[in-house]
Amino acid sequence: MSAIPTLLLLLLLVTAFPFSSAAPHTNISSPPYGIGINYGQVADNLPSPSDVLPLLGSLGVNRVKIYDANPAVLRAFAGTGVELIVGLPDRCLPRLAAPSAALSWVKSTLQPYLPATRIAAVTVGNEVLSGNDSSLIRSLLPAMQSLHSALAALGLDHQIAVTTAHSLAVLAVSYPPSAAAFRRELLPFVSPLLAFFARTGSPFLINAYPYFAYKADPKRIDLNYALFEPNAGVVDPGSGLRYQNMLHAQVDAVRAAIAAAGVSKGVEVVVSETGWPSAGDSNEAGATTENARRYNGNLMRMVAAGKGTPSCPAAPLQVYVFALFNENLKPGPSTERHYGLFKPDGTPAYDLSSPANSSASSADGTAKSAPAPALDASTSFYTISAATLCAFDFVLY
């Protein structure tokens, strides 16, 4: 069996579903349990945007996040029903803080493609608060406010949300999840940002990578816990909640930090990036094809089953996998160029349909066997029950 039909089975549950919001006039329409994907283009050998569409169709994906507002992508996705989150690069923030510049940007960059192209949100910068550029940090909220005002002036604020993505480095404490808190020096910037999200109904985006935690301390972190594999779990001593995987613990840490900052409701947490590299340098523990297959395969099954986190079990977690392609021009260690589900020629980077009880690769590359999960509704981390499949219709636009 090829990887593509299996992924299609995992992602059949595609209908329209808005982000939860304290301000219902603003939402991002999206499938309730479908996986989203990051479509990066830091490469010189990728297919054209129009040739990407069949790959998305084969995956059953209709939610895509890009890192700019590339006209070629916006044109190619017109009329397809694919929902886009577009990005505003960091370098644009100081200029876009001016309301007139924000209005000009929306009119020239987004409005010409509407409504044929479904633009659901704009991410203003990427991981700005955990960077070292104080000018960008100071410009972040003003740019977001100006952009939201521009959208409102054009009657587009009901359909296009304004947000920004953060790394977990914005947290001073992340374990246990219930004790998580934002870094004290960032609170003057985080608190008004959270108020903006609560007022506009925009989600808090977090780039969460269990791989980074495992890579940093492979001897102490259980690989199965990082890969959504069966394990004893970790109990939060503060809440008493048991976590069976690290991603859920990371997301609930962000939720706890938001609450500790004084926002108890109205801000949804969405995983804007997560993934596992299929190759890396010799000192990058755990970066193997097998581990990437298990992480992303188990992640997709979990999302397709509508699983929430221990602190919010009834709220299905929305996730964007990083990434669609291996990108050969990304700087940094080798792992940076090996996060893709696909190679540039459109073939799968690895087979996500491999048997569920094959072994994961530990830090030294040796196999770590894990028991296969039972194929019933009680183990929906790993399977999609027949009842779930029958409950929703699949619509490929």
Q: Are 85 and 66 in contact (CB under 8 A)?
A: yes
| Number of Cβ atoms within 10 Å of the Cβ of 338 | 24
Strand, coil or helix: 123: strand
Q: Which position among 229, 273, 290, 327 bears the catalytic label?
A: 273
83 among known catalytic residues = no
Q: Are 278 and 214 in contact (CB under 8 A)?
A: no
Q: Which position among 127, 229, 290, 327 bears the catalytic label?
A: 127
Q: Which of 238-263 are b and which e, b meaning 16 or more Cβ less than 10 Å from the residue's Cβ?
A: ebebebbbbbbbbbbbbbbbbbbbeb
- Residues 6+ away with beta carbon under 8 Å from 372: 355, 356, 357
d(CA 104, CA 110): 10
d(CA 91, CA 72): 21
| Spatial CA neighbour of 271 closest among 205, 349, 323 | 205
273 among known catalytic residues = yes
d(CA 154, CA 115): 13
For residue 18, the cross-strand partners are: 29
Enter the tokens of residue 94: 């100081």
| Spatial CA neighbour of 244 closest among 362, 376, 373 | 373
| Spatial CA neighbour of 76 closest among 53, 57, 59, 54 | 53
Which residues have a catalytic role annotated? 127, 273
